Structure 1
Amino acid sequence: MFGSAQKIGLADSSIPGDVYASIETGEDLQELVLSSINKIDVQDNEKNIENDEQLNKLQNLNVTVITDDIDDSRNMGTDEKIQQSANANIDLGKAESLKLCAVCKNETSGAHKCLDCHEYVHVICGESNENEGFGANVTCKLCFRKNSINVERECAKLGLQEQANKMVSLSNSKFPCVEIGTNVLVRDPEVDRGRAAPTNVMCVVMSINPSGLYQLGNKEGTFDRLYARNEFTLSETNFINICDVPSTSLSGS
């Protein structure tokens, strides 16, 4: 090609020399290639058939083994079945008679029980204030932890109550109690107040509930909400009496 000799030919291929020596035309080469492809397909089909036959033999063998096992179980004598049932009952009785620790779930001697849950427990799996010995009082770690949590919760509750009492006492020291019928001044919120409106509203103490909240009223009516002591200040003069307050209900600010 292009004035140079051919360098690669059939001699460089995997075709045996006695085969390509008889090739003279391109048609002969094409027939040779097609025949080799057909031989490869036939060999693959033969291998697949052999594999299928082996797989069927294995399946038949497994079915035979399973069938033999079933026949053996069916042919088992009544005495053998009774013996197996008795052994199972004995194992169940042993399991029920075991004294397991409530904490580690291991077998115990039964010498100690928890004071709270009354379950068997090892001494090392519990808390005891006495010396070790048979029948010593022991509290398992589960119950001990539960009791500790309850104690901490009670302490937290008492702490919150004490803190609330301190806040109330501090508030009472700054804002002393007011008697019924005393005139007080309630500050009017800026968002609801006009430019010419007064900053405070004159009211009178109508009643005091057990929680220390005050019900106030004025000449327009009685406020439907209750006021805390720090929400109003005392008035220097009394202009309103309780009898001057109508029974009309007003929305408090």
Structure 2
Amino acid sequence: MTPFFFGEGQRRLFGVYDPAEGLNAKAPRAVVFCAPWGPEYTFSHGVFRRLALNLAAGGYHVLRFDYFGAGDSAGESTEADLEGWRTDIDSAIDELKSMAGALRVSLIGARIGAALAAEAAVRRVDIDRLVLWDPVVVGRSYLDELELKHAAWVNERTRYLPLPPADTPNRLCHPLPARIEQQMAAIDLAGLLTRLKQKILLVLSESRGTDAAALGTIANVIPNRLTLERVRDRPPWREDSPEFGGPMPVNALGRITAWMG
């Protein structure tokens, strides 16, 4: 495991590189992780580290990284937006290709990161495979869900004292500027999936409402390229308290590792 910084100018990104174990007679295989937003990334951080180690042991060069304005990368959280994160994903892909000597890269994305990974796979010709884990399908629905969870979070913590005023709107104690909220609202994964040419693994540990119905329809439209896996694990980004890490979803990790091969 090698932590390092990459990127240009003031947009320095923090990454962790896990080299492939053993010698592979074939062309180098590589995978970039596209993380969720905010608290979902915080809770699931350990899960993605475990998955990265599994894939490295299976012969993949793996790069995990923090978006600009998130984690240990440069920038403030109030400066983050999805357009910049799309650029960060491109930078991470190019960086890993250079480090590993790979011609193509697979992407593993979760939640918002899954939607961003799908967008990258549409616009680039060097994406091999795509894993989408509980992806955000309808951006507006995702924001409505965040709003409900945030209201419950605030209610629990203001029984006796009000929260101090904040300069920037936030959800679950993570800044959510109007700019990034508008960009999230525009997400439409259903429209993207039918444009993808790669093989896709869709991992669902949640089956609710509009998103589940849309994904089920898509799975029937492109069955030759899309593998749908429903797992019984509790999603690692569904933790009730920031004091605890997300659960280890061993079933999902096993199926992703096996599908990547």
Larger radius of gyration: 1
Normalised to the residue count of structure 1, the TM-score between the two structures is 0.16
Q: More helix per residue: 1 or 2?
A: 1
TM-score by length of 2: 0.16
Comparing both structures, which one devotes a greater share of its residues to strand?
Answer: 2
Which one has more relative contact order, counting CA pairs under 8 Å at least 6 apart?
2
